[in-house]
Amino acid sequence: MDIVLVQGDITEARVDAVVNAANSSLLGGGGVDGAIHRKGGPAILAACREILATTHPEGLPTGQAVATVAGDLPARWVIHTVGPVWSASEDLAPLLASCYRESLRVADALGARTVAFPAVSAGVYGWPMDDAARIALTTVRTTPSRIAEARFVLFDPEAHAAFRAHLPR
């Protein structure tokens, strides 16, 4: 799989699937989650409500992933994953890695060939960007998948630089 880094807006990514750094309610929020829901429109929210009503009435657990339609986004699907909130006193790195593994698993099940990832948990959930980049890139690089391209779409220059520092040469 090719790993590509892009600085930009994930809601504009022309890929098969966009990964959403969601909260467990799947109903939208701040950061990437809010942007995806706003730009994707009501179809995404309706699909999330259906998931909550049928398979995840208590909310999507941290580290898991589910897919919905992409609504008005240029992607075909949105893969929602719930990242852990950063804690200096608890090792939650396995849960953050699970977000990426589970998103790739869902993407494979959908037949996606290109996936755009944000820096899961590195925004409002407070995960240090450097560590988030290391976990994300290591996990995506070592997870077996049929994905041809994993694109990390990073909103600002600092995030892009952190990911670039951990990208194998």
Rounded Cα gap, residues 54 and 29, in angstroms: 21
Give yes or no: 130 in active site.
Answer: no
CB atoms within 10 A of CB 41: 14
> Pick the catalytic residue: 2, 9, 33, 91?
33
Size (the chain), residues: 169
Strand order in the sheet with 149-154: 2-7, 149-154, 114-117, 17-22, 77-82, 65-69
**Residues ≥6 apart with Cβ < 8 Å to 35:** 9, 10, 11
Rounded Cα gap, residues 116 and 11, in angstroms: 9
Rounded Cα gap, residues 154 and 142, in angstroms: 21
Catalytic site residues? 33
